[in-house]
Amino acid sequence: MSQVDRASEQPLVDQIKAIILEQIRVGELAPGERIPSERELCRIYGVSRTTARNALVDLENRGVVTRATGSGTFVREEESPAEPAGGASGTVGFLLCRHHFPVRSLREDFFYFDVMEGIQDVLKADGSHLLFQQVAGDDGEESLIADLVGKVDGILLAEGRSERLIDTSLEARLPLVLINPSVDRLKVNLNTVAIDNRAGAYKAVRHLIELGHRAIGCIEGPTDSAPARERYAGCRHALEEAGAVIREEWVEPAANWTIEEGSAAARRLIARAPQLTALFCANDTLAVGAMSGLDPLRRVPDQMSIVGFDDISIAAHSSPPLTTVRSPIFELGRAACRLLASVRTNESLPTTTILFSPELRLRASTKRL
């Protein structure tokens, strides 16, 4: 094989490695001879810089080639081992994708802070370490993944919206587990750990219906978020099942998952639809914001019942304490980390999807109509 086959199911990075190994085997590249650089491989085979770099890094890890800074990459003088030499790094990469601006810091993100604690709980027991990186937007994804090759044993990718980022991770041959992905249709089946958003939203809205509410509004999360769309679908399912009226003007999207967005969205909804008696909010921060935005317009729960989603730490301490559905967030992080460990040690493991179902937590923000 002297050229790459783009119609082949074999990844391009594996094809490049196979070409170089074959050239070494037949003597086209002799021990000590310089092999083409990353830039030259890109030009010769029409592949990306990331593909070329990952091919050379993997060959170096296997002991087939050696790099000399400022000089190039050379075929090793001694006999090349057929299998990778060296062990695992003992580090797992946790990438949190952010496509909403302004980008929140981790300390403002109660959900993923708890996910990280679950990940660290498993890694601590294994004597491993965590490398955290927040990814904002789509820029620099290929170089980011290339920088992680050789530094981490696998990647936990949260809120992955970019197929390019996922493709780059797969091309780099890094074990990958997705956490709450926001990509609707993936080209390949991937190991995934997620919340059953539809089921959780259904339980939340069903609770409001059982309390006698029919004029129920919804504060959605960002419209480009798959979990937000799934939660809205669960909300609609509960309303349709009960024969309740569904009006588009009773639905208000939020640009971000923040308290400020929840407050503003609630005020817009009430100004547009004063007949509403209850609100379903796509997460707890939006719900806490909605309660603050309605005060003193509507007292919760006497004049407006509100239910959230996730049961983050502030939910039980809001005023009034928030009725919500509890997502097992800590357990989500633990499960994702354990699944990644299984993928790393068994490449033939069937693709796995772990789906957690939220449970209703009754507090003081909802009341019978």
Residue pLDDT, tens place only, 301-321: 999 999 999 999 899 999 999
Is pLDDT of 84 > 80? no
pLDDT of residue 333: 96
CATH number of 91-196+331-356: 3.40.50.2300
Residue pLDDT, tens place only, 186-212: 556 789 999 999 999 999 999 999 999
CA gap 325, 115 in Å, rounded? 17
Residue pLDDT, tens place only, 103-139: 555 555 678 889 999 999 999 988 899 999 888 755 5
Alpha-carbon radius of gyration of the chain: 25
Strand (E) or helix (H) holding 42: helix 38-45
Q: The domain 197-327 is classified under which CATH number: 3.30.420.40, 3.40.50.2300, 3.40.50.20, 3.30.70.20?
A: 3.40.50.2300
Residue pLDDT, tens place only, 272-296: 999 999 999 999 999 999 999 998 8
Query: Beta 155-158 vs 278-281: how paired, if at all?
Result: unpaired
CA gap 49, 24 in Å, rounded? 22
CATH number of 12-75: 1.10.10.10
Percent of the chain with pLDDT over 90: 50
Confidence of residue 248 (pLDDT cuts 50, 70, 90): very high
CA gap 125, 57 in Å, rounded? 30
Residue pLDDT, tens place only, 38-75: 889 898 988 888 888 888 877 876 678 887 766 788 88
Mean pLDDT of 11-31: 85
Residue-averaged pLDDT of the chain: 86
Q: Which residues on neighbouring strands pair with residue 252, listed in sequence order?
A: 219
Instruction: Say whether pTM exceeds 0.75.
Output: no
pLDDT of residue 210: 98
Interior CA angle at 232 toward 97 and 319, to 5°?
A: 85
Mean pLDDT of 85-94: 73
Is pLDDT of 367 > 70? yes
269-305 burial string, b = 16+ CB within 10 Å, else e? bbeeeeebbbbbbbbbbbbbbbbebbeeebebbeebb
Give residue limits of the domains in the chain.
Answer: 12-75, 91-196+331-356, 197-327
pLDDT of residue 86: 34
CA gap 318, 347 in Å, rounded? 46
Q: Do domains 12-75 and 197-327 have the same CATH topology?
A: no
CA gap 360, 24 in Å, rounded? 62
Closest of 158, 173, 166 to residue 187, by C-alpha = 166
